[in-house]
Amino acid sequence: MTVWNYLIDWQEEVVDNLDSVAERVNEPGMDRFNQPGWINLVWESGWARRIHLDVVDARETKGLWMMHFCIFPHLDNSGPIYGLDVIAGKNKVTGFFHDLSPTVDNNHAMIEQFGDVLKDHSWKKERELPEWAQAIFSKHMLAVGNVNTEEELLKLLQLSWANLEDYGTEIQKYAGTCTAELGKTAQNRYAYYQKQNPHTPRTMTALGLNEEDVRAFVQECLFPDIE
């Protein structure tokens, strides 16, 4: 069983789960970025303002597979943003990034719980975060490279799935804990710094996607500003 099989199983399980607890949304402009080898799905629910799954499947052409998965709370919710990014070859995950990123509260209870979960795990190949990432990610951010054993990959996927299940339950407790204006500012700040990441457009272009499409996608659909 290849690395890809495990990742695609995770992706399909997430889609099935979200289809049962949230509603799919056809966001304006997103159709442009649903192409052969590139899918984008968006949901919304009573517990999440926006849930976005982005997968680039370039296994046949480039020998790589990439996933971005992000959940934004409603604007009046002080809870963090769930994020998971993975890029993998057939036999190795070159990057696995997972975080509960703060919005209005850097020391939110959900982030501290996330840290408590991670302290029981260790990875030898942790990666140092660049400045743009340090500006928005939590101090517990999981950034691992060169994952080349089944045991390590399964541990990462199981951890991210458990955190996802916990997130869906816990985030609901914080509805109405901040003003919508404060939440809007915080989530736009997160989007701003995510757009400073040079690796996202570079990687997507290297996977064979049109450069103009990628640039528009990152600015308008991957991390859209809240007006």
| 3 state SS of 68 | strand
Q: Is the pTM of this model over 0.85?
A: yes
Give yes or no for residue 80 having a pLDDT over 80.
yes
Please report the pLDDT score of residue 92 as a whole number: 94
pLDDT at residue 76 greater than cutoff 90:
yes
Residue 119's pLDDT is: 83
DSSP assignment, residue 226? P
217 contacts: CB under 8 Å, gap ≥ 6: 32, 33, 204
Percent of the chain with pLDDT over 70: 97
CATH number of 3-222: 3.40.1500.20
Query: Taking the CB of residue 151, how many other CB atoms lie within 10 A of it?
Result: 8
d(CA 19, CA 33): 20
Q: What tens digit of pLDDT does each residue of 134-159 get?
A: 899 999 999 898 898 899 999 999 99
For residue 193, the one-letter residue type is: Y
Give the residue among 226, 131, 222 at the shortest CA–CA distance from 181: 226
Residue 77 Cα distances to 10, 73, 137, 190, 194, angstroms: 27, 6, 18, 15, 20
115 has pLDDT over 80: yes
Write out pLDDT tens, residues 174-201: 999 999 999 999 999 999 999 999 989 9
